[in-house]
Structure 1
Amino acid sequence: MSGSISGMTDSETAYAKINLALHVRKRLPDGYHQIETIFAFLDHGDLISVAPGEGVRLEIDGRFAGGLSSTDNLVVQAARRLADLSGVSQGARLHLDKRLPVASGIGGGSADAAAALRLLNRFWGLDLSLAALADIAKPLGADVPACIHSETCRGTGIGQDLAMISGDDLQGYAALLINPLVAVSTAEIFAAWDGVDRGGLGEGRVMEVARNGRNDLQKPAIALVPILTDMLQLLDAYQPVMAKMSGSGATCFALFDTLDAAVEAEHHCRKTISEIWTMTGEIR
């Protein structure tokens, strides 16, 4: 797609990620956790744009740009890793329009890094497959490979062993995301998990598995951010297909049969809780 920012030649959306279920199975010696999850993605998110430039440089603006470093940033790490592994000497001036809350359980920096890799793959004419980009992305974080694909998939291991869900039954559903504007630490939430393995995901159609699934990080997140209880109860009041917390929080989501239903619920949520961020969109 064409970049709308002056001077930018191309752009890529960093699609918001939600975990329809997140089962934590055990702690691993390296600090990660063995999980089973279902990733899904909205059709909206942050926006990364690119233009020719010397070296790799990043500019950041947007609602949630405050406090983000343009040098110590996963986007820059991703870009330099791709350049090094591909032998690219051409530079890139990157621009991040930060629309998603930081540390909110919906991809954020992982989605930004993934979008940068997809964008630079085109910009530098590398013609790498998404699978190859996902392999390159593995050292950048547990969620980055899934965000490379940005399509419904099942994740195991630390979330990087992916099984794409083709012909899934999420097509046509819409989502409402709400966040209390409270950043939470993924490491802190995982550390607060009680260590009890409550079993893996079931088998079957993705919506059935998701609705029967859990988010094992929801309880420890609520202990740290009690307003999550109010947010989940608020979402349940609109009779969605399902409602849960995403990732390690603090964003919660609800799935609806139509985008109109999601937008109507969003309107009521914003009237009920003033200090929240919301986003609606369709599942990709």
Structure 2
Amino acid sequence: MPATLPKVLVETARAKVNLTLSVLGRRPDGYHELESLVAFADVGDEVTLQVDAPVGVTVSGPFAGAIDSENIASRALRAVAEAAPSLRLGGVAIEKKLPVAAGIGGGSADAAAVLRAVRRANGAQASEVDWPALAASLGADVPVCLMSTAQFMWGIGRETASLPGIPALPAVLVNPGVPLATGPVFQALKAAPAPERDALPALPGPFTDITSAAEYIRLRGNDLEPAAAGLCPAIGTVLAALGAEPGVLAARMSGSGPTCFAIFGTALHAEAAAERLRAHNPGWWVVATTLT
């Protein structure tokens, strides 16, 4: 292995935001057929791979204590070891800055960041691995998080298409501090059987500006929002607060919640809104960000 390959690699596990989410129905295998416009925030967990250190995962940071099951990042390391035993691995340290069970793909983003770090750590030898397939084996959201750029996803999330024309979107993310598991939200939705898909979905856009993208987000919405709000009334409170902010163009829930987001016309509007929301709601996690 060439000595020039890095031994310490840092990846940002960017928060995944479902700008829209349509649930077409429940499949016979129990998964749900979806269509979703996804973008990624410029905030996330920090994932560090120390090559040749003992293989394992440690977690620190403000939300580390909320992880109550095996970290998917550990499964990512094992999956790489099984798929390509000759690749260099090591110890992974995650600084958990994103809320857990929050509808912004934190665990999936962590696993994807581990895969990206291992891929970088192994240079040309990494080409022996089918990284998208490995990501898909870890979870439905991991493939899109592996790319970490704006995508349109469908099926159960493993089919994706890049959307290079989407504008950078000034936004605010808000989590009310209440975890919400995905499973109960889909159960509450009680989706009908999914129809047979006979064609590829129509991709959104191209969007000419922030306003046109926000209009699409507002009109398409998130089919899980009513079910999630029924289980977690704080979602309605957050959406009302976001919708009342000056300069807001669209406010929706991300994924299965409870994190919500708002798109603003300018970054200044987003930053001012975040400052006000933090001041009035000290128990909320609030960040101004840019979605790309």
Does the TM-score normalized on the shorter chain lie above 0.5? yes
Q: Does 1:143 align with 2:144?
A: no
Q: 1:236 & 1:142 partners in 2: Cα distance?
A: 30
Q: 1:78 & 1:50 partners in 2: Cα distance?
A: 12
Q: 2:282 & 2:95 partners in 1: Cα distance?
A: 24
Counterpart code for 1:237 = A
| Larger displacement relative to structure 2 (159-168 or 51-60) | 51-60
Partner in structure 1 of residue 210 of structure 2: none
Count of matched residue pairs: 273
When the two structures are superposed, what TM-score results if normalisation uses the length of structure 1? 0.89
Q: Does 1:66 align with 2:65?
A: yes
**Residues 48/242 of structure 1: CA separation in 2 closer, same or farther (3 Å cut):** same
| CA-CA distance at 1:55 after TM superposition | 4.7
- Please tell me whether the aligned partners of residues 33 and 194 of structure 2 are also in contact (alpha carbons under 8 angstroms): no
Partner in structure 2 of residue 245 of structure 1: 253
**Residues 127/167 of structure 1: CA separation in 2 closer, same or farther (3 Å cut):** farther
User: Gaps spanning 5+ residues in structure 2: where?
Assistant: 1-6, 196-200, 208-212
**Residues 201/175 of structure 1: CA separation in 2 closer, same or farther (3 Å cut):** farther
Q: Give runs of aligned pairs for residues 1-284 of structure 1, distance below 5 A.
A: 9-68=8-67, 72-88=70-86, 90-126=88-124, 128=126, 132-168=130-166, 170-171=167-168, 173-195=169-191, 203-205=204-206, 207=213, 208-238=215-245, 239-284=247-292
| CA-CA distance at 1:220 after TM superposition | 0.6
Counterpart code for 2:32 = H
Q: 1:212 & 1:62 partners in 2: Cα distance?
A: 37
Q: 1:77 & 1:161 partners in 2: Cα distance?
A: 22
Partner in structure 2 of residue 5 of structure 1: none
User: Gaps spanning 5+ residues in structure 1: where?
Assistant: 1-7
- Please tell me whether the aligned partners of residues 54 and 90 of structure 1 are also in contact (alpha carbons under 8 angstroms): no
Q: 2:234 & 2:188 partners in 1: Cα distance?
A: 17
- Superimposed CA distance per residue, residues 176-208 of structure 1 (whole angstroms, 9 cap, x where no aligned partner): 100011111101111111325999877433525
Secondary structure of 2:29's aligned partner:
coil
Partner in structure 1 of residue 198 of structure 2: none
- Please tell me whether the aligned partners of residues 88 and 124 of structure 1 are also in contact (alpha carbons under 8 angstroms): no
- Please tell me whether the aligned partners of residues 201 and 209 of structure 1 are also in contact (alpha carbons under 8 angstroms): no
Instruction: Name segments (4+ residues, structure 1) moved above 4 Å.
Output: 126-129, 196-203
Give the alignment's Cα RMSD to 1 decimal. 2.3
Secondary structure of 2:64's aligned partner:
coil
Q: 1:204 & 1:164 partners in 2: Cα distance?
A: 12
